[in-house]
């Protein structure tokens, strides 16, 4: 696979989206992102690392962190997690409240905000420090000891977090949180507000391409658990656009409103693309275009 050539073509496709989509501003600290920034990186299971554009420039990880909180909650707690959160696509926006009411406070999946709050809660019970566990995992796998929560973004999320607070309180009213709402929200914001890069994320996400094996060769989770996480990424990782993402890109992937998308080629590589302009569903316009081009040109997808 000629990764540098593929990345160049993907970057050209991303640059052609200039002007389409909007930078997230419902968290005011995210609105300062450079709309035309673009980066992309690939880490292969053989240990190759390639990047183009702003692939080493930090951006806000946002919901891409939900992949890591889920993986750690599954790795430490096993199947019990699924008693409190489902694994069906929601067909609704990532911060929607509507399904929770009729579905008894059990969120549809771990990637919508409601589900991620439950995952953060369980991870906090297991580790005593949910956001610290996510940061530590990201640091170890990426080999970047400086990776950290951006306190300005975390504070901005908390200050404008009425929807997430409403979700958390509603879930708690159904008895589906084990920790106080304030603790869960604090740790959820802290892991969403981590500043990271395409480089860091492909290295940190590679365990999913290696069927559960970490960078140091130890096993985080079983092959079957890895398959399940990749399956939930494919069906739910890009929210109510998961069908469109599967159609265009054909890979399990997780997006965030910082503009990053981390996608997995099982058995081969982790790929991350980043561009801050988002479509209606909250997925990066440039990153989807880049990933679409990469899989279309290479013929590599899970299909
Ligand atoms: O809670 C929020 O709204 C953000 N911290 C994360 C949302 C997000 O990234 C959705 N992804 N596209």
What percent of the chain clears pLDDT 90, i.e. is strictly above it? 99
Measured between alpha carbons, how far is 122 from 166 in angstroms, rounded to an integer? 19
Please choose from 62, 70, 281 the residue to mutate so as to test ligand 1's pocket, defined by most ligand atoms within 8 A of CB: 62
The label of the residue with tokens 């170890």 reads 140
> What is the average per-residue pLDDT within 229-246?
97
Name residues contacting ligand 1 (CB within 6 A): 62-63, 94-95, 113, 157, 164, 192, 255-257, 282
Atom in ligand 1 nearest the alpha carbon of residue 113: 1
Q: What is the SS3 assignment for 257? A: coil
> pTM score, two decimals?
0.98
Tell which one of 21, 25, 66, 95 to mutate to probe ligand 1, the residue whose CB is within 8 A of the most ligand atoms: 95
CA proximity to 257, closest of 227, 278, 234: 278
| Ligand 1, atom nearest to 281 Cα | 12
pLDDT for position 1: 86
**Cβ pair 60, 54 in contact under 8 A:** no
Measured distance CA(157)–CA(183) in Å, rounded: 14
Q: Where are the domains of the chain?
A: 3-298
Write the ipTM: 0.98
- Sequence-ordered list of residues with C-beta below 8 angstroms from that of 136, at least 6 positions apart, any chain: none
Alpha-carbon span 286 to 261, nearest angstrom:
10
Please indicate if the annotation marks 211 as binding a ligand: no
Of the CATH numbers 1.10.760.10, 3.40.50.720, 3.40.710.10, 1.25.40.10, which one belongs to the domain with range 3-298?
3.40.710.10
pLDDT, tens digit, for every residue of 100-158?
999 999 999 999 999 999 999 999 999 999 999 999 999 999 999 999 999 999 999 99
């Amino acid at each position: 696979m000629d990764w540098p050539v593929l990345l160049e073509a993907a970057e050209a496709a991303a640059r052609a989206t200039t002007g389409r989509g909007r930078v997230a501003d419902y968290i005011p600290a995210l609105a300062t992102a450079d709309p035309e920034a673009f980066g992309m990186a690939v880490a292969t299971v053989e240990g190759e690392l390639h990047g183009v554009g702003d692939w080493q420039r930090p951006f806000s990880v946002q919901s891409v962190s939900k992949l890591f909180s889920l993986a750690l909650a599954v790795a430490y707690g096993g199947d019990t997690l699924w008693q409190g959160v489902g694994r069906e696509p929601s067909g609704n926006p990532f911060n929607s409240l509507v399904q929770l009411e009729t579905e008894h406070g059990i969120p549809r999946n771990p990637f919508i905000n409601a589900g991620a709050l439950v995952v953060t809660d369980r991870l906090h019970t297991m580790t005593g420090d949910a956001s610290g566990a996510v940061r530590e995992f990201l640091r170890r796998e990426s080999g970047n000891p400086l990776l950290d929560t951006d306190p300005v973004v975390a504070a901005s999320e908390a200050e404008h977090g009425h929807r997430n607070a409403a979700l958390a309180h509603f879930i708690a009213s159904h008895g589906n949180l084990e920790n106080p709402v304030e603790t869960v929200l604090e740790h959820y914001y802290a892991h969403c507000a981590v500043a990271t890069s395409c480089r860091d994320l492909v290295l940190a996400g590679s365990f999913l391409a290696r069927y559960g094996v970490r960078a140091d060769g130890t096993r985080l989770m079983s092959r079957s658990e890895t398959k399940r996480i990749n399956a939930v990424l494919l069906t739910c990782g890009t929210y109510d656009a998961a069908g469109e993402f599967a159609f265009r890109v054909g890979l399990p992937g997780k997006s965030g409103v910082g503009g990053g998308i981390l996608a997995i080629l099982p058995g081969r590589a982790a790929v991350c693309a980043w561009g801050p302009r988002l479509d209606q569903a909250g997925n990066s316009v440039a990153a989807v275009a880049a990933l679409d081009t990469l899989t279309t040109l290479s013929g590599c997808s899970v299909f």
